[in-house]
Amino acid sequence: MGNKNKTISFRVSEEAFEALQEIAEKRDISLSAVFRDYVDMLVDHDGQVSVVPEEDLETDEPAFPPTVEVPKSFLREHERLELETEHLREQLEEHKAYVAELRERLEGDDEGGDTLLLDDLDDDQYQIR
């Protein structure tokens, strides 16, 4: 029939409830997710799960989320590159606006105003340098 979720209800003291809420807030998950994780852990380990304070844990596993020290020079270089990128984007926008303005002028001059085509020039009359 498929995998249907079941609901479990039980009562805890107000102190225990507040402690569970703090755990959920630290992990940035819902209170229900705390219970689901605990139940999944119990099932995976056939009920052989013991709860111990973090300071009593003896493990060589790295902390989660992992932390990495980044040199200040790297951060400064990153910030410099972000500023340079922003400046180049501004220059690109200015260039696009200038090109658009030149195109508008060129389209406006199609009426035969000051535009000279090289094919129309007489080599004897004009010198091209």
Position 86 pLDDT exceeds 80: yes
pTM over cut 0.85 = no
* Residues in CB range of 106: below 8 A, 6 or more apart: 115
Q: At what angle do helices 14-27 and 31-44 cross, to 10 degrees?
A: 90
**Is the Cβ–Cβ distance between 64 and 54 less than 8 Å?**
no
> Residue 33 in 3-state DSSP?
helix
Tell whether the model's pLDDT for residue 89 goes beyond 80.
yes
Task: Give the pLDDT of residue 1.
Answer: 52
| Unique residue bearing structure tokens 């004009």 | 126
- C-alpha distances out from residue 64 to 15, 33, 72, 78, Å: 27, 18, 23, 25
- Look up residue 92 and give its amino acid: L
pLDDT recorded at residue 29: 85
Q: pLDDT tier at 87 (50, 70, 90 boundaries)?
A: very high
Q: Which tokens go with 98?
A: 């200038």
Q: What is the mean pLDDT of residues 71-96?
A: 94
d(CA 23, CA 17): 10
